[in-house]
Amino acid sequence: MSNSAALLLKTQAKVSHERRTMEKTHMVAADAIQSLQQKLANAHRDIATLQAQHLANKGLMEHMANDVAEVLSVQEDMGCRLVILEESEQKIRDTAEKTQELVSDLHASLQGRNTEYTTTTTLAEELALGDTGLFTGVHTDLVRKVTSWHNQLQVVLCASVKDGACSASMYIAGLWACVRMFVVGLWARQAGRLEVFVGCGALKLKAGRYEVVIGLGISSVLVGIMWWLLDRPSEAPVSNHPMWDML
């Protein structure tokens, strides 16, 4: 009995020792497991952070790729525009050269015209100098004849206006006005100007394609004025009549 009791006590002591050892080992293992779990959680957190950074970096890389593509497109567009600009500069240069040539030709033409330009006197001056033969403008027999006709028929015109009874003289005066304005139109075609003197003033018209028509129109107005004056005889002397100024 004593041997069995001693063996039982030894066995209990061993079991108690083994239990304490197992408890200590379990506690150490629990601490290790908790540490490992903490490390695992930290690892999961680090992995999530890395994944987020990877996604962010991937987005940045895509954005950078888009920026690079846009920069390349802008660079290509700038190259095309540079080519177009060079072509435009060449065209502008050619146009400037042509314009300079045209301006040079125009200056040369103007200088040629200035050297060929000759001054001409007015119709009044030529009519005044017609009897002496000192014409300085266009030398035509028709203009010389106008001077003598003017001196001969101005008295007839003023006399017809004064008495108003001689219709034949009025016809002659009207015909003279038509002839005179027609001659002025022909002379203006050659001389390049048309001058009609009325009273003390002067009406200057550029002689163009219809200068003869203008002359005939003005002569018709003069004929109308004379027919109007036919019913209004003037009491003033012939030498003081206003029709002297019209001639």
In tens, the pLDDT along 82-105 reads 999 999 999 999 998 988 888 888
In tens, the pLDDT along 116-164 reads 544 555 555 555 554 444 444 444 555 455 555 555 555 455 554 444 4
pLDDT band at 201 (very low <50, low <70, confident <90, very high): very low
pLDDT band at 216 (very low <50, low <70, confident <90, very high): low
Rounding to the nearest 10 degrees, give the CA dihedral for residues 174, 175, 181, 186. Answer: 170
Q: Examine the pLDDT at 8 and tell me if it is beyond 60.
A: yes
* Cα–Cα–Cα angle for 183, 186, 190, rounded to 5 degrees: 135
pLDDT band at 180 (very low <50, low <70, confident <90, very high): low
CA distances to 30, 52, 80, 193, 209 from 121, in Å = 134, 102, 65, 10, 21
Question: Strand 194-198 relative to strand 201-205: parallel, antiparallel, unpaired?
Answer: antiparallel
Helix (H) / strand (E) element for 58: namely helix 2-116
Rounding to the nearest 10 degrees, give the CA dihedral for residues 163, 166, 172, 177. Answer: 40
204 secondary structure, DSSP code: E
Q: Is the dihedral of CA 137, 140, 142, 144 positive or negative?
A: positive
- Beta strands (DSSP E) in the chain are 194-198, 201-205
Which of 151, 146, 213, 156 is CA-nearest to residue 180?
Answer: 146
Which of 139, 223, 219, 124 is CA-nearest to residue 179?
Answer: 219
